[in-house]
A = this chain, B = another copy of it.
Amino acid sequence: MELLTIGEVASRSGFAPSAIRFYEREGLLSALRSSGNQRRYARDVLRRLAFIRAARNIGLSLEEITAALAELPGGRTPTRADWARLSRSWRGRLNEQIDALVALRDGLDSCIGCGCLSLQRCAVSNTGDTAAALGPGARWLPPALRR
């Protein structure tokens, strides 16, 4: 089987070589080595990187991604079903983020024109009210949305 160099993996995955090395240091990837100590990759690293990219797009931190990857079966190449199982939980997370933003927008609608931005009453500036607006189960804006 043909092995890929880090440069090839980089151009095919869209990640910079430095990012790929960084992911290896962080334990998200592993690599074979050539006789001269250069990294060599099997093709399935591309799906792993696609998973990482997708998870990042959803808003997961590398720490969360590492944890998710740890649930892949050891000893065999993951199947499509394995990857699908891992990404199933993302839907709820996205829905939470969407709900939070919608609540914020609706709060904003009721604030615009009033301009109060009251720390006591305004749904947009008052963190307590903002949290309340999200309902039980989603008490704060997800970190990705709080910046």
For the complex, give the distance between the alpha carbons of A61 and B90 in Å: 26
A100 vs chain B, min Cβ distance (A): 10
Q: How many copies does the complex hold?
A: 2
Which B residues lie within 8 Å of A112 (CB)? 84, 87-88, 91
Contact status A87-B124, CB under 8 Å = yes
- Interfacial residues, chain A to chain B (CB-CB below 8 A): 12-14, 46-47, 49-51, 53-54, 56-59, 61, 79-85, 87-88, 90-91, 94-95, 97-98, 101-102, 104-105, 108-109, 111-119, 122, 124-125, 127, 130, 141, 144-147
Q: Across the A-B interface, give the 9 residue pairs with the lowest CB-CB distance, nearest first.
A: A84-B115, A80-B115, A54-B125, A50-B117, A50-B125, A83-B115, A54-B124, A94-B105, A53-B125
